[in-house]
Amino acid sequence: MSAGRDAIMGSLRRALKRGAEEADAGARQAVDRRLDEFPRGPQPARAQIPPAAQVDLFEAMAVEQAATVARIASLDQVPAAVADYLKAANLAPKLRLAPSPELENLPWDGQPMIEVETGRAEGRDQVSLTGAVAGIAETGTLLLASGPEAPTTLNFLPDNHVVVLKASQVVGAYEDGWDRLRETYGRGHLPRTVNFITGPSRTADIEQTIQLGAHGPRRLHILLVEDTESGNGPRDGG
């Protein structure tokens, strides 16, 4: 172990009046328990509502944070919805797609005008399309996780970030999002990068006036796929 580590640990142990190992057993137990049980703090009541209402809250909060949301009935409609978005925003019909089979296997041939490339983002890309792990209703926040099928650069380099989110992926609180990640990656493990994204990039560094598009995307567009019966159906685990 390094000298720096020894010095800092020694100083911390003195400050905390640590004694022999046995004497500190209580402290160690408290730490183990917290890490093992990861108790939740107060949960805002606003998001403790039925699933359909959570989806509505997610949309309302995302829009409030300057994201745009388009609801579509099924994943198959994604290419057409992307085409609509590009046209409405007056963007060139080019798309950088996350290399995920679910997105790649969509009926892109129905939109022959759109030039689709997959992979990580390059500096010139104008529009990216990615999936998401969850949508957090509490604040209209997207939860994205990095991986071979989800390069992080897609979330930040292009001017326009389009995200496909299924209604079944919408949860109430951030903690519900962590639980979904724990199901996938195991307890104590996270993917390399987890991104919570709430609206497009912004800054208020000049005279406290909010400007969108500081360094990250200028626009965040969410394609909300209504894959659940409006509020009554069983929820799929994501």
Q: How many CB atoms within 10 Å of residue 82? A: 25
CB of 16 to other proteins, least distance (A): 6
Selected from 56, 63, 65, 184, the binder of other proteins by CB under 8 A is: 65
Is residue 105 at the binding interface for other proteins, with CB under 8 A as the rule?
no
Mark 83-102 with x for binding to other proteins (rule: CB under 8 A) and - for no binding.
----------------x---
Is residue 160 at the binding interface for other proteins, with CB under 8 A as the rule?
no
Two tokens, residue 111:
């939109």
Pick from 126, 99, 132, 101: nearest CA to 114 = 126
Selected from 71, 94, 120, 235, the binder of other proteins by CB under 8 A is: 120
Run of H or E residues at 34: helix 25-37
CB of 124 to other proteins, least distance (A): 10
Residue 43 and residue 127: Cα distance in Å, rounded? 35
Q: 180 vs 228, which CB is nearer to other proteins? A: 180
Is residue 202 at the binding interface for other proteins, with CB under 8 A as the rule?
yes
> What CA–CA distances, in Å, run from 170 to 36, 47, 218?
26, 11, 24
Site for other proteins in 11-50 (CB under 8 A): 11-16, 18, 27-28, 30-31, 34-35, 38-46
User: For 45, phi and psi rounded to 5 degrees?
Assistant: -65, -25
Is residue 76 at the binding interface for other proteins, with CB under 8 A as the rule?
no
If DSSP codes are grouped into helix, strand and coil, which group holds residue 141?
A: strand
Selected from 56, 80, 100, 178, the binder of other proteins by CB under 8 A is: 178
